[in-house]
Amino acid sequence: MVTAFHLGLLVPLLAAGSQADPGPYIHLDRLSPRVALVCWPGLDRRCNLTVIASQKGLVIIDTEASPRLMAPIKKKIEQTFHRTDWTYVINTHAHDNHASGNVLFPGAVIVGHENLVQDMQWLIRRRTDPDRKRREVDRYHTILRDLRAALPRYAANPPYARLIRSDLIFYDLFVQDLQQGYEVVPPALTFSDKHTLDLGDLTLELIFFGKGHSASDILIYVPQERLLVSGAIAYQRYRVPEIGEESHLEDVHRFLAVLDRLLADEVKIEHVIPGHSVPLPRAVLPPIRDYYQRMLKEVAAARQQGLTLDETTKLLTLRAKFPAFRDPPPHTYGWDHQERNVRNLWRILAEDQPAPQPAPAQP
Ligand SMILES: [Zn+2]
């Protein structure tokens, strides 16, 4: 889970405990008769789960941060659609609020990119490495303590206090799962490039984006609903796209090819469901494609001109060059991503154009 806590802002609460009912805090919005968007928002935490009700069964895209968190969400979905015939679970990637509730869908086929199994290993290490587990449990106990302490200060701000109460229930359940451990269920159906799921009245086109935000990021396009579930590719509005430590030149070229294909005239997209914000319009996609194109061009030009990495980083700020995106507040998640992207693209271009080797000494 990507959680950036601003402890200064945290306000607290009562002792919402494990007995509290999560139901009222879970939002379910129907985007159409067949599609719903579900999330359990908190102060600085929202992860979208997309539900698709097809002729061949229910499909869920992403499964939250742990089984105890997924369970009330699943219940709400089943009550809304009056059915329980889960047929596919799709994980957009392996960060933990996207793939940690898989175990609750024993009858469904879990689907993901072929790198997903490897990407999930950290979830298993967190459970089996005692030091790591203790650090994580301590971290969330601290978060819970700070939330409880903050709650009374927000008595005059009911919407904010409600978010704190939501977080208290969420993290209380989460830490129970961390302490007791839960089964990490890998995908049974994987693919490398793209894969289509035929659901009778709907088709889901699963597309590997390339190694960027993670090594297993996929997008899901549903043409009959004009819907694109973008996972972390459009993370939220204004969030800079990513070029990761695992990205190579072929990945950056893949980002561009995938986005070009999705932006073709024949592809009809009305709703983009990002990983972590309200739905966005198609108009958020061209700036992402243009970002990767311009970054490639500008970093390559800077290298050719003999600029240093430092000089290039100072030149290619979001404010100066990419006004469609904004830096998050300092030290919150993603605040240093533009600097990281320049550094990674610099490394990628260096890999692709290794410095000339000195000629071997003449005998
Ligand atoms: Zn992620």
In a domain, 148, yes or no: yes
Both tokens of residue 191?
């693919």
- pLDDT number for residue 8: 34
Give every residue of the chain whose pLDDT is below 70, as ranges: 1-19, 354-363
Residues 175 and 311 in one domain: no
Which pair of structure tokens corresponds to residue 19?
């007995």
Residues 175 and 319 in one domain: no
For residue range 271-314, list pLDDT tens digits in order.
999 999 999 999 999 999 999 999 999 999 999 999 999 999 99
Based on the structure, what is the number of domains in the chain? Answer: 2
In this structure, the number of other CB atoms found within 10 A of the CB of residue 211 comes to 24
- 98 CA → ligand 1 middle, Å: 7
Residue 230: name the closest of 255, 250, 253 by CA.
255
Is residue 168 within a helix (H) or strand (E), and if so which, with residue range?
helix 158-180
Q: Measuring CA to CA, which residue among 3, 183, 41 is closest to residue 110?
A: 183
Domain that holds residue 319: 283-352
- Answer yes or no: is 144 within a domain: yes
In a domain, 187, yes or no: yes
The reply to whether 48 and 161 lie within a common domain is yes
Distance from Cα 290 to the centre of ligand 1, integer Å: 22
Of 170, 184, 149, the closest CA to residue 3 belongs to: 170
Q: How far is the CA of 214 from the centre of ligand 1 (A)?
A: 7
User: How many C-beta atoms surround the C-beta of residue 91 within 10 A?
Assistant: 28
Q: What is the CATH number of the domain that holds 169?
A: 3.60.15
Residue 269 included in any domain: no
What pLDDT is attached to residue 11?
Answer: 35
Residue 194 pairs in a beta bridge with: 207
What spacing in Å lies between the alpha carbon of 2 and ligand 1's midpoint? Answer: 7
Last residue of a domain, one of 146, 176, 191: 191
CA–centroid distance, residue 213 to ligand 1 (Å): 6
Using the 3D structure, point to which of 139, 157, 191 is the last residue of a domain.
191
If one counts every other C-beta atom within 10 angstroms of the C-beta of residue 355, the result is 6
- Choose the final residue of a domain: 166, 191, 216: 191
Distance between Cα 113 and ligand 1 center (Å): 14
CA 95 – ligand 1 centroid, Å: 5
Asked if the structure places residue 23 within a domain, the reply is yes
- In this structure, the answer to whether residues 113 and 7 fall within a common structural domain is yes
Verify that 160 and 304 share a domain, yes or no: no
In a domain, 293, yes or no: yes
Rounded Cα distance between 229 and 273, Å, is 5
- Given this model, what pLDDT does residue 362 score? 60
In this structure, are 167 and 305 located in the same domain?
no
Q: How far is the CA of 69 from the centre of ligand 1 (A)?
A: 17
Using the mean position of ligand 1's atoms as its centre, give its distance from the Cα of residue 44 in Å.
14
Distance 182 CA to ligand 1 centre (A): 20
Q: Is residue 224 assigned to a domain?
A: no
Q: Can you read off the two tokens belonging to residue 271? A: 């709703």
Of 29, 52, 46, 30, the residue nearest 205 (C-alpha): 52
What global pTM score does this model have?
A: 0.90
- In angstroms, what is the C-alpha Rg of the chain? 22
Sheet containing 271-274: order of strands: 194-198, 203-208, 218-222, 227-231, 271-274
What is the Å distance from ligand 1's center to 134 Cα?
Answer: 23
Q: Within this chain, do residues 106 and 5 fall inside the same structural domain, yes or no?
A: yes
Residues 179 and 296 in one domain: no
Query: Does residue 249 lie within any of the structural domains?
Result: no
